[in-house]
Amino acid sequence: MTAKILVVDDEVSLERLIKQRFRKKIRENKLEFIFAYNGREALEKLATESPIAVILTDINMPEMDGLTLLEKLAEFSETLTLKTIVVSAYGDLQNIRTAMNRGAFDFLTKPIDFDDLEITLNRTLEYVQKMKENLHKLHQAQSQLVQNEKMILIGQLIAGVAHEINNPVGFIVGNINHLENYLKDLLKVLNLYQTELSKPSEALQKQLEETELEFMVEDLHNIIASMKEGTERIRSISTSLRNFSRSDTDKKVAANIQDGIESTIMILKHRLKANNQRPEISIIKEYGELPLLECYPGQLNQVFMNIIANAIDALDESNQGRSYEQIKAHPNVITVKTELGLPPNRVVIRISDNGPGIPESVKQNIFNPFFTTKSLGKGTGLGLSISRSIVVEKHGGAIDCISKPEGGTEFIIEIPINTNAGGG
Ligand SMILES: Nc1ncnc2c1ncn2[C@@H]1O[C@H](COP(=O)(O)OP(=O)(O)O)[C@@H](O)[C@H]1O
Ligand SMILES: [Mg+2]
């Protein structure tokens, strides 16, 4: 990357001298110098040029001097990653003091010693570079923090809603059985009436015909069966939601990984279902026999969620331009496989899809925070970086990605079974 340096001096000859001295670095695109002849012009350049790393400024200049320029610089938001070197007459301590007090990073004296200039410039550029890196890291950490906080909040919300749903569903489940028994009794009574009352009145006869009693009796059984199934489904969704959003930020607990995966798939069901563009995305499960795992289950669920959601995104993308029939002939498949790693001291979870795969150039970046190939609003680029930190830092495990040459992607997660690694 080219570092841009703004030189502010009313002495025109300086431009030639600097270009001469730094010609090699300029040719190699390591440095780029731009020039202004007073403070006012410097401010104009700052507003129009792409980020300037260092300003080298004289003090005495027409229109706006270097000290006033320093004062104005404080108003620029870029000043955090922009440093100023002041050039002053030899022995002009007063101005140097003022310049330093106004935020100058360093100073040089006239006539400029070009060796000294090079050393000072390099040191300042290094400092600016470090500063930029730190700022970037801070920004990343902040976003991850916000994201984690958000996930915890959403988790609590989901757990709360699931709990609220459970009570009313409980009424229904409990009462359906009573309802069924009452109905059976009622029907028995009705049957008896029918046999004993061999000659019903005309009005009763009419009513019986209108009610289509036989059909109704038959249908009642279906209705009750489907109500039972419906409530069962609500129950299992609510269990999944609670399971998925387990809050476990402080200590590890023994958990069944398979339950977590099942809950995650249940929650993603609406995205897997058939729609008018494509048939259902099928999920093949190959669960191995696994021991309970000491882990943060809620966080691992977040990892499964991120990876399976990415697979769905990738499949949907690969479906673009294919007809429903074409997709049906080569259906979208996600495979989830769990097994014990050999020697059996780790659990291995493989999640693969038969989507487009990941080009090598993209693959290098997928675990970096904010890296996304998706459009704004669709991707945050945080899914995999958060997943990696959960797997590696929180669980002492490993996460890797294989993009297969024949297309398709596989994510492999390994979690050690007996580990005190990671934590907090
Ligand atoms: N199964 C996959 N198939 C193809 N590309 C994938 C797959 N999973 C992840 N990627 C790539 O990795 C990138 C980063 O993923 P992620 O960190 O979850 O962020 P996001 O999903 O918000 O883009 C995605 O933008 C995509 O390019
Ligand atoms: Mg994602």
For the chain, the domains span: 3-112, 143-243, 246-416
Locate tokens 């919300």: which residue?
A: 157
| CA 342, chain centre distance (Å) | 31
Q: Lowest-confidence range among 23-32, 142-151, 186-195, 203-212?
A: 142-151
Whole-number pLDDT of residue 278: 95
| Beta-bridge mates of residue 255 | 293
Question: What is the DSSP-derived secondary structure letter of residue 78?
Answer: G
Out of 75-79, 186-190, 348-352, the most confident range is 348-352
**Measured in angstroms, how far is the CA atom of residue 332 from the centroid of ligand 2?**
18
Point out the ligand 1 atom lying closest to the alpha carbon of residue 411. Answer: 1
From 303, 310, 351, the mutation candidate for ligand 1 (largest count of ligand atoms within 8 A of CB) is 310
pLDDT digits (tens, 9 = 90+) for 166-179: 889 989 988 999 99
Side by side, the strands of the sheet bearing 31-36 are: 31-36, 3-8, 54-58, 83-89, 106-110
Tell me the pLDDT of the chain averaged across its residues. Answer: 90
Check pocket membership of 372 for ligand 1, CB cut-off 6 A.
Answer: yes
Ligand nearest to the CA of 314: 1
Point out the ligand 1 atom lying closest to the alpha carbon of residue 381. Answer: 19
Q: What share of the chain is helix, strand, coil (3-state, %, to 5)?
A: 55, 15, 30
Q: Is the pLDDT of residue 255 over 80?
A: yes
Give the pLDDT band (50/70/90) at residue 239: confident
User: Out of 3.90.1280.10, 1.10.1660.10, 3.10.20.90, 3.40.50.2300, which CATH number does the structure's domain 3-112 have?
Assistant: 3.40.50.2300
Tokens representing residue 319 in the block? 């479906």
Q: Is the pLDDT of residue 355 over 70?
A: yes
Q: Please report, as a single letter, which amino acid is at residue 93.
A: L
Of the chain, the percentage scoring pLDDT greater than 70 comes to 97
Local structure of 57: helix, strand or coil = strand
Check pocket membership of 279 for ligand 1, CB cut-off 6 A.
Answer: no
Say how far apart CA 195 and CA 31 lie, in whole Å: 104
Give the pLDDT band (50/70/90) at residue 79: low
Q: Please report, as a single letter, which amino acid is at residue 362.
A: V
What mean pLDDT do residues 134-162 have?
81
What mean pLDDT do residues 139-166 have?
81
Ligand nearest to the CA of 384: 1
pLDDT digits (tens, 9 = 90+) for 264-289: 998 899 899 999 999 999 999 999 99
What mean pLDDT do residues 250-263 have?
90
Dihedral pair phi/psi, residue 64, rounded to 5°: -145, 125
- Helix-then-strand count for the chain, H and E: 14, 12
What mean pLDDT do residues 20-27 have?
95
Q: 15: Cβ–Cβ under 8 A, 6 or more apart, which residues?
A: 7, 33, 35
Whole-number pLDDT of residue 77: 64
Point out the ligand 1 atom lying closest to the alpha carbon of residue 355. Answer: 3
Whole-number pLDDT of residue 423: 43
3, containing H or E segment:
strand 3-8
**Measured in angstroms, how far is the CA atom of residue 359 from the centroid of ligand 1?**
11
Whole-number pLDDT of residue 249: 64
Q: Whose CA is nearest to atom 10 of ligand 1?
A: 310
What mean pLDDT do residues 189-212 have?
88
Q: Is the pLDDT of residue 421 over 70?
A: no
Check pocket membership of 243 for ligand 1, CB cut-off 6 A.
Answer: no
Check pocket membership of 311 for ligand 1, CB cut-off 6 A.
Answer: yes
Say how far apart CA 41 and CA 35 lie, in whole Å: 9
Query: 409, 401 in Cβ contact below 8 A?
Result: yes
Bigger pLDDT: 78 vs 107: 107
**Measured in angstroms, how far is the CA atom of residue 320 from the centroid of ligand 2?**
19
Whole-number pLDDT of residue 145: 78
Q: Lowest-confidence range among 18-27, 38-47, 113-122, 207-216?
A: 207-216
Local structure of 58: helix, strand or coil = strand
Query: 163, 247 in Cβ contact below 8 A?
Result: no
Whole-number pLDDT of residue 331: 95
Check pocket membership of 5 for ligand 1, CB cut-off 6 A.
Answer: no
Local structure of 141: helix, strand or coil = helix
Check pocket membership of 315 for ligand 1, CB cut-off 6 A.
Answer: no
Q: Please report, as a single letter, which amino acid is at residue 152.
A: I
Whole-number pLDDT of residue 78: 66
Q: Where are the alpha helices (DSSP H) in 22-92?
A: 23-27, 39-48, 66-73
**Measured in angstroms, how far is the CA atom of residue 150 from the centroid of ligand 1?**
20
153, containing H or E segment:
helix 114-196
Query: 417, 291 in Cβ contact below 8 A?
Result: yes
The CATH code for residues 246-416 is 3.30.565.10
| Beta-bridge mates of residue 87 | 58, 108
Q: Whose CA is nearest to atom 27 of ligand 1?
A: 373
Q: Whose CA is nearest to atom 9 of ligand 1?
A: 310
Tokens representing residue 299 in the block? 């966080």
Locate tokens 């300029």: which residue?
A: 26
Q: Is the pLDDT of residue 424 over 60?
A: no
Q: Is the pLDDT of residue 241 over 80?
A: yes
Say how far apart CA 405 and CA 407 lie, in whole Å: 5
**Measured in angstroms, how far is the CA atom of residue 405 from the centroid of ligand 2?**
22
Whole-number pLDDT of residue 248: 63
What mean pLDDT do residues 417-422 have?
60
Furthest-apart CA atoms within the chain: distance in Å:
128
pLDDT digits (tens, 9 = 90+) for 275-332: 999 999 999 999 999 999 999 998 899 899 999 999 999 999 999 999 999 999 999 9
Point out the ligand 1 atom lying closest to the alpha carbon of residue 386. Answer: 17
Say how far apart CA 390 and CA 396 lie, in whole Å: 9
- Identify the CA nearest to 239 among candidates 187, 345, 165, 312: 165
What SS3 string covers 88-108? EECCCHHHHHHHHHCCCCEEE
